[in-house]
Structures are given as C-alpha cells and as structure tokens.
Amino acid sequence: MSSGHHHHEQDALIEKYGYDDHFHEHHEGDKFQFNFLTKYIFSMDHKIIARQFLFTGIFWAIIGAAMSIVFRFQLGFPDASMAWLKPILGKWIIINEAGIGTLEPEFYYALVTMHGTIIVFFVLTAGLSGTFSNFLIPLQLGARDMASPFLNMLSYWFFFLSSAVMFYSLFLSTGPFSGGWTAYPPLSALPQASIGSESGMTLWIVSLALFVVSVLLGGMNYITTVLNLRTKGMSLWRMPLTIWAFLVTAILGLLSFPVLFSGFLLLIFDRSMGTSFYLSDIFVNGMALDRIGGSPILYQHIFWFLGHPEVYIIILPAMGIVSEVLAVHARKPIFGYRAMVYSILAIAFLSFIVWAHHMFMSGVNPFLSNFFVVFTLIIAVPSAVKVFNWISTLYGGNIRLNTPMLFCIGFVSMFISGGLTGIFLGNSAIDIQQHDTYFVVAHFHIVMGVAAFFGMFAGVYNWFPKMFGRYMNDTLGKIHFWITLIGAYAVFGPMHFLGMAGVPRRYYLFDKFDAFSGFDDMNKFITIAAIVSFFAQILFVVNFFWSMYKGKRVTSQNPWGSNSLEWTTPIEAGHGNWPGKIPTVQRWSYDYGKDGIEFTQQHVPLRDGEKPSDH
Amino acid sequence: MSSEHTAHTGSHHTEVENWNGASEPFKASYGKLMMWYFLLSDAFTFSAFLIAYGTLRFSMPTWPVPDFVFSGLPGGIHHKPLIFVTIMTFVLIASSVTMVRAVQEGHRENKKGVVFWMILTIIGGLGFLGCQAWEWTTLIGGEKMSITRNPFGTHIENGTYLEGDGHDIKAGDSFTKGSSYLIHYHDGHFQPLKYKTEGGEVKTQQMGPKAFGALFFFITGFHGFHVFSGVVFLLIIALNVASGLYARRNNKYEMVEKIGLYWHFVDLVWVFVFLVFYLL
Amino acid sequence: MSHLSYEESKKLVMKGLIILAIVTLAEVFVALLGKGYLVKDFHLPVWLMYILMIVMSLYKAYFIVYYFMHMKYEVPGLVKSVLLPTLLLVWAVIAFFTEGKTWHDWRAQKNDRPIGSLTGLVDEKAKDVKSSGHGTVDQKENQLAPAHQDTLTKKDEHGDHSNDAETKKEAPSHH
C-alpha cells in the first residue's frame, strides 16, 4: 500500500464526514502536554498510561518468571548446588561445609506464592487488561480519552503503589508471604503460622487491597467509556471484538474484586483484631487457640467468587486481541461476530456461578458440587464456539504469517489443549484423583497462563507500531514464538503425566516418596525446557526495548491494512488522538476482502450499492 | 422544567439512534455513570459481608435473638425491643428525604435551597452516627460484647435457674428452649448462671456465638464508616455550593446529585443491615 | 433529570417519606407481633414472618433506588447495566447458605461437640452438655479432649487462670 496516498485519503474522509466535538477550542495548549513530569509520569493521556501499565507488567513478568526458574531448578535438580544464587537470594540459600548450597524450604514456598500472585494479578490482570484496555478503548471507539482521565491516572498509580508494597515485601527478613497465591487461612490469618505469614502477609494484603482500588478505578472508567463515549456511528454491534472483550472484562472486575476486598477485610480482622471469621479448632504447637466458630471454607468461597471471574479477567482480553489480530492478518472478517459476542457474555455470566469447582476437595457439600460441575461443563459450549470461529476465520484466509499472527494461532492451540483438561478437572469425581497434582498445574498454566501470554504477545507485536511508531523485529519475534510454543508444551505437557501418576504440586522435594522417584528425569527435562523458554522471553524483552529506539520506522498511518479506528490517527498521536475532527463510523470493523477490496476502514462510507455487512 | 419535560419525551423514539454513539446513550454524564458503577461494586462489597453473615449464622447451633439483644433505650430503659433502631432508621430515611430535596433545589439552580437541605441532611447523618455511637457504647461498655466475645446466648433446652443474676432473673425462674439470656459481667468476670434441666442435670449458661459480635460490629461499623465519609463529603460539597463553585459550572449542581446517589445508597444498605441484624 | 414538575416531585418526596416510614413500622410490627410481644401467646409462623420482612425490605430498596435515586427516570440501558448484575448474587446466596447449613449439620453429627466449643465459652460444664441428649458421652473423646478444653478455659473470661480443670469442676465460675 502506498502510504502517502492512504494518509491523505483518511484525513480527507475524516475532515468530510468527521464529527466535530470542538475539542480544540477547549484543549489548545492543554497544560498536560507540556512538561516532562505531566507528559510522561503523571500523565492523563490514556496512551501513556497504557504504556506505564505495559512497562510495569514487563518488569513484574521478568521477576515472576525468574522466580519460577529458581523453584523449577529445585524440582529438577534437587541435589545440585544452588550456591551460585547466593549473591541474589542471600540468606535463603544455605551453604554447608562442602560448599553445596540449598534453597530454604520456606523460601521455596514464598517463591511459589509470589510467582502466582505476580503473574496472576500484576502481569496478566494489570499488565494485560490495564495495557490494552487503556490503549485501545478510546482509540478504537473514536474517543478523545477515557471518561475520567484523572481517575485513569489514579488507577495506574494505585497499581504502582501496590507494586511497590509487594516489591518491598520481597526483601523482608522473614520473607514475602508463603501461603500460596490464594492466601487461605489459617496460614494467612495467623501470623504465628509460618515465617511468611508474618509481615510478608501483612504487606501482601495491603498490596492487594491497593490493587483492588486500581482495578475498580480502571474498570469504572472502561465501562463508562465504552457505554457512553463512542463516536458517532459506533453502535455496539460495530465495535471491534477487542472492545467487547475489554468491556466484559471490566464488568467482571467491577463485580468480583469488591467481593475479594470484603474477604480481605474479614481476613485482616482475623489477623489483627482477634476475630474468628475464618478460624475454628486451630492448634498451634499443641495448644488450642481460642479462635472458634468460623470456617476457612468461607474464605475459600469468597476468594473463588472473585477467583473464577479473575480467570476470565485474564483470558477474555487475550481472546479479544486474538479475534481482532486474527481477522486482520487472515484478511478475512471474523467468523461469527455475533456468536463471538454472545459467547463472551455467556462465559462472563457462567464465570460467576462456577467458583466452587476450585474447592471440590475442600469439604464442600457434595450435593452442591453437582451443580457446580454442571455449570462448569457448560462453559465448554461458548468456549468451543469461540475456538470454532477462530479456526473458521483462518480457513481459506489470505494468511500473513507474521509474529502477531503466529502468536494468535499459538493462542488457539494452547486454549484447546488447556481447555480439554479443564473438562477432566471440572468433574468432581475425577477431581478426587487429579486435585492438587501437577495435572492441575499443567491445565491452568496452559489455558490461562501461556494462552493469555500469547494473546498479550500478539497484542504487543501488533500494536507496537501504534504505541512507539516503530516495528518490532519480525525475525526475532518468530524465533521468540517458536521457542516459546515448543518450550511451553515441553514444560507443561509432561506435567499431565506427573499429575495422572498422582505427583502432588507444591512439594519442595520428592526424595521421601519411592512412588515418584521414577519421575526424576521428567522433572529435569521440564526444568531445562523452562530455562530455555525463559531465555526466549529475554529475547522478547531485548527486541522490545531495542525496537523502541532502533526498530524500523512506521511510515504509513495504517501499516497492517487494518479497519479499526486507531489506525486513522497520526503515527505519533498527541493527547486527544485525532488532530481535527473525530472520524464517524460508517460500517463494522471487519470488512476484509469485501466486494474484492482487500480492506475498508470503518470511517469509509458505504460505496454505491454496497450492502452493510453488520446486521 | 417544562422544557426539559418535552425534551425528554422526544428522546424515546430516538433510543436506537442514541446507541449509535456520539450522543451519550445513557443520557447521563460520565461522572454520574461512574458513581452508579462505583455503587454497584460497593453493593457487591456489602453483599459479600451480608452473605458471609448469613453463612456463619446458618453454621451455628444457636444465634442470639435480635429483639432481646437490641432492646434498650437511652435513659436506662430496658425491654423495649427494636424501638431504638426504628428511631435510627427514621433518622436515616429522613436524611435521605432531605437529600432528595437538595438535589431538586439544585435542578432549580436555587443555591440557598441546596445549602439548606444539605445542612439538614448532614444533621441527619450526624444524628444517625450519634445513635450508633450510643448503641455501640451500650453493647461494649454495658454488656461487654466485643468482636471477640458475645454474652448473648440462647437456651437449647427447658430448665429452671438455680440462682439469680441480680437483674431480671431470680432463682427458681424457669425458661424454655429457644429463649435468650445475657450473661452479666460483674467484678471483672462474666457470671454465667447455673440451671437445672428437666432431666435434673445441673448446667451452666454458655456464651453465644462469637461470630455474632464480630459481624455486628464489623458490618455496622463498615456501614457507619460509609455514613461518616458521606457526612464529610456532604460537608465539603455544601461548602462548595455556598461558595458558588457549582453555580459557575452551570450543570444543575451535578455534584450534589452524585453525592445524593451515594447518600441514598448508604440508606439502601441500611435497609438490608436492618433486615438481617434486627429483624430476622 | 426528572419527568416531573417541581411541585410534583416535592409531593413525591413527602410520599416517599411516608411510605418508607410506614413500611419500616410494618416490619417492626410484624417482628414484634410475630414473636409474641404485642398479643400474649400469639406467634406468627417463622417462615411467614421472614417472607413478610424480606418482601417489605425489597420494596423499600426498590423505592429508594427507583424514586430517590431516580432510576425510574433513567434510560433502560443504564437501568439494566446497574440492576441486572445484582442477580448474580442469587446463586451466591443459595450456594453460600447451603454451605453454612452443611457445616452446621456436619458439626451436629459430631455429637461430642459441646455447644460452647463453637460459641466461645467452654467451661467445666461442657461435659454435661455432651450428656444432655445433645450428644452422647464418649469416655475416649473426653480423654482426648482435655488439652483442648484446658487452653480454651484459660483464655476465657474467668479471670483466675491458675485453676486446673479439676478444681474448676468443683468451684464453678462464680467466685
């Protein structure tokens, strides 16, 4: 495509059909455009805030992934010396007279806990939804910014505060919290329960309380913006699927995080004020505590009332990104647009009524479990609809096999592989065998860990040109993809076998269990695969930062030949996104290959005799 | 007002077009919408607390009877079940009503009216907090209920007291299964009474479920905190109204409307707190 | 924005005050009547009392949201976006309460559990509760339990912590 030509055509169309919101009369010489501090640090521009979320997310992803390498090393090579980690981990590595360094078991649990907390909340919630909801909602809807740019800024800074508190907790002398990312009482409720339950837990809960505030501020903004601030012509059924996914994600967050917050407040009271909401019949060192009448299962219910929607808060944005990027690079309209929307809504609804499937073995009433089994298995239906539609979109497409597209295909692969094992685990009877084994670890890492990362990578590679005005290196990107894809299957594939053999998760060492000694080689293999995959991610980080400054420059407004509105803004868009009028929307965003024309952007009016495709 | 009326009737058949964007499909400013969604999320916070309350209550062998627990009135009056909390509820409802009036005066751009009704609302809020303070003082100071202990118990069988408590119970008084009792606190101890069951066994009163006290102070405290912060916001906004800030914004005192939503929500939550703690 | 004129809405406010006041009074009336405070020896069935109170509370909530918070005059999209999500709580209520009831039943099945061990005060009379038909005396259980009961007794409000369980049996909590 000849860039100059397009450039002109787009601006002319917007000038002709655009919608004048008199932005410039109010914002000429906007004070937020000027000094460094307000432009890049305390910015209210959604595009800057999106990048802040992304950078913080990358920071946490590196830490979270590095932690997993340390505990994978322990699991794969329990006899090898870890003395080389002494400079980083300090007192958590014990070196004996022979010079062999071992990892403190307490710290192993802290690493597992922090890995989960960091990846689930800081990377795949804030880093994924925070980045792309912020970046794409106003741009793809034709809005100047979020409904409340100020609260949007606060949303990031609450996340930052939350991050700072959690980061600080890593350096406590008693270590960070070590009772699992779900923070079940009594480990989380009794400071005397373990060393990680002391200050580590206090900071953990403070950090997550701040995180909830961040999610709520963000979510209120996303919902209000999508519902009330769309540009002229952007009806709900014309919105790109990314926006549908972000909207529903925000709704899930708005309804589930407050419940987590309630659960945390009760937990804080149990920790510090001597109440017994979650405690009963507790013995510490042979002494019974006077903390009776509550139930730890109550916490689990409250936690998973958030926890299950949280899974979809993680995966839905990835699904939205994949739907959009897949259509763009297959040069085909997304197959079954409305079915996609309805399946997102169905998944969102179901996500609120299935939470207890995380607790089948916790002592939930078995009769009640039946309902949770049925509801859980129903989720397979909308999920299968989505998978079918992605594959059908690819079928017969004019596929560009570039990095974002590869990650989309990888996402679909991961989602199928991980989704299938979900059907096993969703059955309470089968769960008796599988629960708390590596089968569960394999399942959720593939379906919401790796898959969500693939969606995030697809998004980063695809919108990098819009974010930074340069391309990421495609060759490095492809290498990154292939190592990650193969690596992820090599790590989590074998775990299914471990799990089926009954190898329990969370164990520090298996040397006392003869039944599991046959898996030593498999554990070594998994660890090596994990280390290789980790270094592939370093490749991504290098590519990312190198490309920010040295990548190939973007020369056209619409480098991918995409239909959605973000590609009608200038390459380096300022605060307010469009320099003149806002484009009005004339069609849906999936007119690819229609009437023999490769793509038609959303603001281009219907041609003579053309039938609209969006009804 | 009448022009607005016609404008609104006109808006119904353009509903579909509204959804096409650029014209605020929800016919509400972003601030009001965000307040609604905040209240929705806050409703889930309170719901979680009340559901936790219900769950723990269901799990307990007994639960204190509210009209026995909440039966005092200021001035040392006892055995007047639910009267005081009814008064509290009236105070909060009244303050909700004055808040509606403030919003209405705002729509008329009547600055003095807004300030007047807001001040009445603030007084109502403070009155409610005062009532709550009295209730807490009675329970904590007088009856020694706290978040970790609950002297309000329920009998699980019929029986006859073997001793009196110096208050209402005399030795020889009989009681029935399901009736309530309060273990009085004297000389630094709780003094549970001995009683004889119908089978002739001698037993002592047991404390009530701890969760009752914990949940009562936690949930009414969380609600009270909402009332308190509401009063602070009302005060700030009333001052801003008086200073003419919102009049200059020329948006029909939208800020008053937003804080009004919050204030009514506090009243709404009280409807359910009142239901589960005092009625059921 | 209101459908109503200023005068009409002022009237509505007064109406609201009266309606809410009456419904609240009715709730309290049902509570007192149902539990036998008003007419001697007259009780309402508990289920009827509960249904009446819940329905009246829901009506109050409806009135506050629809009239005081002006939901009646908002566009349908806004109404749905705020009110429909609350329906998700219905299943939560059912599931959580079923769980609570289950814990209750399972605890009751463990017959040796004295009431006090769940409510906060286990004193020397705990064993009597066990033999009260609420549970059966299980000698073995009693021998397993003393450590538990001891510590619990020490933590409660009896003040004198030096008493061992044996002394306390003879000298109950009145000092």
What whole-number distance in Å separates Cα of residue A391 and Cα of residue A135? Answer: 27
Q: How far is CA B48 from CA A298, B42, B68, C94, C145, in A?
A: 11, 10, 26, 13, 35
> What is the pLDDT, as a whole number, of residue C44?
85
Provide the chain B residues 88-107 that lie in CB contact (below 8 A) with chain A: none
> What is the pLDDT, as a whole number, of residue A8?
66
Contacts of B44 in chain C (CB under 8 A): 89
Question: Considering the entire predicted model, what is its pTM?
Answer: 0.90
Q: Render pLDDT for A423-434 as a digit per residue (tens, 0 to 9).
A: 999 999 999 999
Domain assignment of residue B259, yes or no? yes
Q: Render pLDDT for A516-558 as a digit per residue (tens, 0 to 9).
A: 888 999 999 999 999 999 999 999 999 999 999 999 999 999 9
Query: pLDDT grade, residue A288 (50/70/90)?
Result: confident
Cβ of A258 and B48 within 8 Å? yes
Looking at the structure, tell me whether residues B105 and B229 fall in a common domain. Answer: yes
> What is the pLDDT, as a whole number, of residue C138?
37
Looking at the structure, tell me whether residues B223 and B101 fall in a common domain. Answer: yes
Q: Does pLDDT of A134 surpass 80?
A: yes
Q: Which residues share a beta bridge with B186?
A: B189
Query: pLDDT grade, residue A284 (50/70/90)?
Result: confident
Contacts of B210 in chain A (CB under 8 A): 275-276, 292-293
Looking at the structure, tell me whether residues C50 and C124 fall in a common domain. Answer: no
Query: pLDDT grade, residue C164 (50/70/90)?
Result: very low
Q: Which residues share a beta bridge with B203?
A: B195
Domain assignment of residue B20, yes or no? no
Q: How far is CA A66 from CA A175, A308, A530, in A?
A: 17, 26, 10
Nearest CA to A588 out of A576, A600, A580 is that of A600
Looking at the structure, tell me whether residues B71 and B88 fall in a common domain. Answer: yes
> What is the pLDDT, as a whole number, of residue A27?
55
Query: pLDDT grade, residue C153 (50/70/90)?
Result: very low
Cβ of C61 and B271 within 8 Å? yes
Q: Does pLDDT of A360 surpass 90?
A: yes
- The token duo for C149 is 């009961």
Q: Render pLDDT for C40-49 as a digit per residue (tens, 0 to 9).
A: 778 888 899 9
Looking at the structure, tell me whether residues B103 and B119 fall in a common domain. Answer: yes
Cβ of B27 and C5 within 8 Å? no
For B175, phi and psi rounded to 5 degrees?
-140, 165
Looking at the structure, tell me whether residues B182 and B225 fall in a common domain. Answer: no
Looking at the structure, tell me whether residues B190 and B235 fall in a common domain. Answer: no
> What is the pLDDT, as a whole number, of residue B14?
52
> What is the pLDDT, as a whole number, of residue A599?
92
DSSP codes, A382-425 = HHHHHHHHHHHHHTT------HHHHHHHHHHHHHHHHHHHHHHH
Looking at the structure, tell me whether residues C112 and C148 fall in a common domain. Answer: yes
What percent of chain C is modeled with pLDDT above 90? Answer: 36
Number of domains in chain C: 2
Domain assignment of residue C175, yes or no? no
Instruction: List the single residue in A with minimal CA-CA distance to B33.
Output: A224
Cβ pair A562, A549 in contact under 8 A: no
Looking at the structure, tell me whether residues B54 and B187 fall in a common domain. Answer: no
* Structural domain containing residue B162: 155-204
Contacts of B11 in chain C (CB under 8 A): 75
> What is the pLDDT, as a whole number, of residue A25?
62
Domain assignment of residue C30, yes or no? yes
Domain assignment of residue C99, yes or no? no
Looking at the structure, tell me whether residues B81 and B124 fall in a common domain. Answer: yes
Query: pLDDT grade, residue A352 (50/70/90)?
Result: very high
Looking at the structure, tell me whether residues B216 and B269 fall in a common domain. Answer: yes
Q: Render pLDDT for C114-127 as a digit per residue (tens, 0 to 9).
A: 665 666 544 433 33
- Cβ of A224 under 8 Å from any chain C Cβ? no
Domain assignment of residue C98, yes or no? no
CATH label of the domain that carries residue B247? 1.20.120.80
- Cβ of C102 under 8 Å from any chain A Cβ? yes
Among A141, A220, A225, the residue with its CB nearest the CB of B38 is A220
Q: Render pLDDT for A38-97 as a digit per residue (tens, 0 to 9).
A: 777 888 899 999 999 999 999 999 999 999 999 999 999 999 999 999 999 999 999 999
Domain assignment of residue B169, yes or no? yes
Q: Looking at chain A, which subunits does it touch, using at least 3 CB pairs closer than 8 Å as the criterion? A: B, C
The strand pair at A592-594 and A597-599 is best described as: antiparallel
Domain assignment of residue B19, yes or no? no
Q: Which parts of chain B sit beneath pLDDT 70?
A: 1-21
- Cβ of A147 under 8 Å from any chain B Cβ? yes
Looking at the structure, tell me whether residues B67 and B94 fall in a common domain. Answer: yes
Cite the DSSP H helix spans in B76-167.
Answer: 83-107, 111-137
What whole-number distance in Å separates Cα of residue A587 and Cα of residue A603? Answer: 7
What whole-number distance in Å separates Cα of residue C102 and Cα of residue B258? Answer: 43
What percent of chain A is modeled with pLDDT above 70? Answer: 96
Looking at chain A, the number of H-run helices and the number of E-run strands are 20, 6
> What is the pLDDT, as a whole number, of residue B24?
78
Looking at the structure, tell me whether residues C57 and C28 fall in a common domain. Answer: yes
Q: Looking at chain C, which subunits does it touch, using at least 3 CB pairs closer than 8 Å as the criterion? A: A, B
What whole-number distance in Å separates Cα of residue C163 and Cα of residue B275? Answer: 43
Q: Does pLDDT of A296 surpass 60?
A: yes
> What is the pLDDT, as a whole number, of residue A1?
40
> What is the pLDDT, as a whole number, of residue C122?
42
Residues 6+ apart with CB under 8 A from A117: A166, A177, A181, A204, A208
> What is the pLDDT, as a whole number, of residue A357?
94
> What is the pLDDT, as a whole number, of residue A36?
73
Looking at the structure, tell me whether residues C27 and C84 fall in a common domain. Answer: yes
Domains along the sequence of chain A with CATH: 40-599 (1.20.210.10)
Q: Does pLDDT of C63 surpass 90?
A: yes
What whole-number distance in Å separates Cα of residue C98 and Cα of residue B257? Answer: 40
Q: Looking at chain B, which subunits does it touch, using at least 3 CB pairs closer than 8 Å as the criterion? A: A, C
Looking at the structure, tell me whether residues C17 and C69 fall in a common domain. Answer: yes
> What is the pLDDT, as a whole number, of residue C116?
59
Looking at the structure, tell me whether residues B237 and B133 fall in a common domain. Answer: yes
Boundary-marking domain end, from C89, C122, C141: C89
Looking at the structure, tell me whether residues C41 and C10 fall in a common domain. Answer: yes
Cβ pair A164, A249 in contact under 8 A: no
> What is the pLDDT, as a whole number, of residue B75?
80
Q: How many CB pairs under 8 A join B and C?
A: 225
Residue scoring higher pLDDT (A573 or A20): A573
DSSP codes, C19-47 = HHHHHHHHHHHHHHHHTTSSSTT----HH
Provide the chain A residues 532-591 that lie in CB contact (below 8 A) with chain C: none
Looking at the structure, tell me whether residues B244 and B105 fall in a common domain. Answer: yes
Residue scoring higher pLDDT (A29 or A282): A282
Average pLDDT of chain C, as a whole number: 71
Domain assignment of residue C94, yes or no? no
Q: Does pLDDT of C1 surpass 50?
A: no
Domain assignment of residue B65, yes or no? yes
Cβ of C102 and A365 within 8 Å? yes
What percent of chain A is modeled with pLDDT above 90? Answer: 79
Cβ of A148 and B24 within 8 Å? no
Boundary-marking domain end, from C28, C55, C89: C89
Number of domains in chain B: 2
* Structural domain containing residue C26: 6-89
CA A180 to chain centre: 19
Average pLDDT of chain A, as a whole number: 92
> What is the pLDDT, as a whole number, of residue B203?
87
- Cβ of B56 under 8 Å from any chain A Cβ? yes
Amino acid of residue C92: A
Cα angle A552-A555-A557, degrees, rounded to a multiple of 5: 125
What percent of chain C is modeled with pLDDT above 70? Answer: 61
Domain assignment of residue C97, yes or no? no
Mutate one of A154, A223, A224, A589 to test the B interface: name it (highest B CB count within 10 A): A224
- Cβ of B58 under 8 Å from any chain A Cβ? no
Looking at the structure, tell me whether residues C77 and C144 fall in a common domain. Answer: no
Q: Does pLDDT of C72 surpass 80?
A: yes
- Cβ of C129 under 8 Å from any chain B Cβ? yes
Domain assignment of residue C100, yes or no? no
**Span A261-288, mean pLDDT?**
90
Looking at the structure, tell me whether residues C12 and C69 fall in a common domain. Answer: yes
Looking at the structure, tell me whether residues C10 and C73 fall in a common domain. Answer: yes
Looking at the structure, tell me whether residues C112 and C146 fall in a common domain. Answer: yes
Cβ of B20 and A232 within 8 Å? yes
Cite the DSSP H helix spans in A469-566.
Answer: 474-500, 520-550
Query: pLDDT grade, residue C140 (50/70/90)?
Result: very low
Among B40, B44, B147, the residue with its CB nearest the CB of A275 is B147
Boundary-marking domain end, from C34, C59, C89: C89
Domain assignment of residue C157, yes or no? yes
Q: Render pLDDT for C86-137 as a digit per residue (tens, 0 to 9).
A: 999 999 999 999 999 999 988 888 756 666 566 654 443 333 333 333 333 3
Domain assignment of residue B6, yes or no? no
> What is the pLDDT, as a whole number, of residue C77?
87
- The token duo for B156 is 């699980």
